[in-house]
Chains A and B, each alone.
Chain A
């Protein structure tokens, strides 16, 4: 059975079209990643699917209920973790979970047990009586996820779950998401961290400027990028000021500036790329130090599909 079926979903805000004719499906038990830069329509798509925003056109079925007429019923089986940890600062961890359980109509006898179970599972039991406002960012994120699970949903939406977390907190959260997946929960995840999508998702929908540009498994997306070469070159001198020249020399390739002295060249004939790299290095006196041919990563697939730099995408959200 399909957990979600999206058909031609469109959202307009005045003259701005945030999401345009988006269609995809999510199988039960699947982790689907919505991948794209800021403004690509990921969050708007999720907001429509959880009933926070009405689509301008198109429709969707969520857990078998039409978005237009049955979202209220669907909400009983949906858990949502928004991109900000928006529980009540003045309530304790326990009271926040109990309040959410009451909103979802979790029976009185089950509420306390479920709350305690979640607090223990998320390592927050010792801090159960502390106010949410006193928690660290990682703890707030964990409790926000716990709150989304308090009514035992079948479908979980996670909007940028690891944004703003330190490396350790982000890793433990990814482990937790994997664990939820293994327990059979259907998960829709938005992220702009490519490695996160690669690790967690069964399939990925890539959105750019509100449109779906690719839907496939991470493996297939990477395979599609394998058709072209991926070459990484390291120079002694700084290359960023001259990358436009290299792009002009290699019209069939995409030049990505990795950092001051490293460039990645996607696509094109490898022999030609090597020749041009040598010529480029000489003409700008950059001192070519190393050239490596690589297997494409999801990041490379993303760049070749969207033409966007993943570094720019990460910067947009202050990412790692």
Chain B
């Protein structure tokens, strides 16, 4: 059963990469938006670009994973193709993880391209032993968050619309646009409840020479993954009751 699930998880992810992710709309959301956003900040203060890199990578992770993930399950439920997947010897959890893995892999490609591009362009040497686990955990978190919204709403546009609320809230409160320490206390509190804050913190550690540990950020990110993936599985199971 585990073998069947693992095979199906891989096949579903590979199929999703071909049919949904490696297409212009997903690529534009995944790369163009974070790059344009960062460019706007760069033009305002060109000297601080190095400081913007963790934010740029964090936003690439956020937008590349959620770009299509937030709609693929919902979309397939409407077309009946998700039901077709469930007819195969695979559990509901396996199907969901296959969908999450698709978002994860696409996010990984986009993030790797952006990270390598910026690191080579401005000569940054991030600590890969920190960068890779923080990025991988973050990709899982935001891919599963997209899946949760996709399963939670009946209409594709509802999932996209409602996902924009936490997505943009995170962009503004994660510490990239404005330092968290300078925010009013209630906003500081809210920022601590958002996963992107921990992604940015972890990535900053990876890009700084400071000997601080991203362990807490990684643990919190792992917690967010659990917080998103299990309710998503439960909701999906309920849709097929």
Contact across chains for A52 and B240 when beta carbons are under 8 A apart: yes
A87 at the interface (CB under 8 A from B): yes
Contact across chains for A88 and B240 when beta carbons are under 8 A apart: no
Q: Report A-chain residues with C-beta under 8 Å of the C-beta of B84.
A: 82, 86-87, 147
What separation, in Å, do the CA atoms of A102 and B89 have in the docked complex?
A: 11
Contact across chains for A86 and B1 when beta carbons are under 8 A apart: no
What separation, in Å, do the CA atoms of A54 and B241 have in the docked complex?
A: 6
Q: Take A88-B81, A99-B15 as given contacts and tell me if A75 and B89 are in contact as well, using a CB distance cutoff of 8 Å.
A: yes
Shortest distance in angstroms between B61's beta carbon and chain A's nearest beta carbon?
26
Binary flags per residue of A59-92, CB closer than 8 Å to B gives 1, else 0 = 0000000000000110110101010101111110
Q: Report B-chain residues with C-beta under 8 Å of the C-beta of A87.
A: 81, 84
Shortest distance in angstroms between B186's beta carbon and chain A's nearest beta carbon?
41
Contact of B79 among A52, A72, A73, A86 (CB under 8 A): A86
Binary flags per residue of B205-241, CB closer than 8 Å to A gives 1, else 0 = 0000000000000000000000000000000000011
Contact across chains for A104 and B91 when beta carbons are under 8 A apart: no
Q: How large is the interface on A (under 10, 10 to 19, 20 to 34, 35 or more residues)?
A: 20 to 34
Q: Report B-chain residues with C-beta under 8 Å of the C-beta of A78.
A: 87
Binary flags per residue of A213-226, CB closer than 8 Å to B gives 1, else 0 = 00000000000000
Contact across chains for A103 and B19 when beta carbons are under 8 A apart: no
Shortest distance in angstroms between A79's beta carbon and chain B's nearest beta carbon?
8
Find residues 260-291 in chain A having any chain B CB closer than 8 Å to their own CB. none
Contact of B88 among A73, A86, A104 (CB under 8 A): A104
Contact across chains for A86 and B80 when beta carbons are under 8 A apart: yes
Q: Report B-chain residues with C-beta under 8 Å of the C-beta of A50.
A: 87
Q: Report B-chain residues with C-beta under 8 Å of the C-beta of A84.
A: 80
B86 at the interface (CB under 8 A from A): yes
Shortest distance in angstroms between A257's beta carbon and chain B's nearest beta carbon?
36
Shortest distance in angstroms between B96's beta carbon and chain A's nearest beta carbon?
15
A53 at the interface (CB under 8 A from B): yes
Q: DSSP class of A's interface residues: helix, strand, loop or mixed?
A: loop
Q: Report B-chain residues with C-beta under 8 Å of the C-beta of A76.
A: 4, 89
A100 at the interface (CB under 8 A from B): yes
Contact across chains for B11 and A90 when beta carbons are under 8 A apart: no
A252 at the interface (CB under 8 A from B): no
Shortest distance in angstroms between B18's beta carbon and chain A's nearest beta carbon?
8
What separation, in Å, do the CA atoms of A100 and B89 have in the docked complex?
A: 11
Q: Report A-chain residues with C-beta under 8 Å of the C-beta of B193.
A: none
Q: Take A50-B87, A80-B87 as given contacts and tell me if A103 and B11 are in contact as well, using a CB distance cutoff of 8 Å.
A: yes
B155 at the interface (CB under 8 A from A): no
Contact across chains for A72 and B80 when beta carbons are under 8 A apart: no
Contact across chains for B11 and A52 when beta carbons are under 8 A apart: no
B90 at the interface (CB under 8 A from A): yes
Q: DSSP class of B's interface residues: helix, strand, loop or mixed?
A: helix
Contact across chains for B90 and A103 when beta carbons are under 8 A apart: yes
Contact of A103 among B1, B8, B241 (CB under 8 A): B8
Find residues 82-119 in chain B having any chain A CB closer than 8 Å to their own CB. 83-91
A105 at the interface (CB under 8 A from B): yes
Contact across chains for A102 and B81 when beta carbons are under 8 A apart: no
Contact across chains for B7 and A102 when beta carbons are under 8 A apart: yes
Q: Which residue of B lies closest to A88 (CB)?
A: B81
Q: Report B-chain residues with C-beta under 8 Å of the C-beta of A105.
A: 4, 7, 89
Contact across chains for A103 and B88 when beta carbons are under 8 A apart: yes
Q: Report A-chain residues with C-beta under 8 Å of the C-beta of B91.
A: 72
Q: Take A90-B19, A99-B15 as given contacts and tell me if A52 and B86 are in contact as well, using a CB distance cutoff of 8 Å.
A: yes
What separation, in Å, do the CA atoms of A76 and B89 have in the docked complex?
A: 6
Q: Report B-chain residues with C-beta under 8 Å of the C-beta of A100.
A: 88
Contact of B83 among A54, A82, A88, A104 (CB under 8 A): A82
Contact across chains for A102 and B11 when beta carbons are under 8 A apart: yes
What separation, in Å, do the CA atoms of A75 and B90 have in the docked complex?
A: 9
Q: Report B-chain residues with C-beta under 8 Å of the C-beta of A104.
A: 88-89
Q: Report B-chain residues with C-beta under 8 Å of the C-beta of A90.
A: 19
Contact across chains for B241 and A72 when beta carbons are under 8 A apart: no
Q: Report B-chain residues with C-beta under 8 Å of the C-beta of A75.
A: 87-89
Find residues 1-37 in chain B having any chain A CB closer than 8 Å to their own CB. 1, 4, 7-8, 11-12, 15, 19
In addition to A72-B91, A76-B4, A105-B89, 18 A-B residue pairs with Cβ atoms within 8 Å of each other are: A51-B87, A52-B87, A52-B240, A53-B240, A54-B241, A72-B89, A75-B87, A75-B89, A78-B87, A82-B87, A86-B81, A87-B84, A89-B79, A99-B11, A102-B7, A103-B8, A103-B11, A104-B88
20 A-B contacts, Cβ less than 8 Å apart? A50-B87, A52-B86, A52-B240, A72-B4, A76-B4, A76-B89, A82-B83, A82-B84, A82-B87, A86-B84, A87-B84, A99-B15, A100-B88, A103-B7, A103-B12, A103-B85, A103-B89, A103-B90, A104-B89, A105-B4
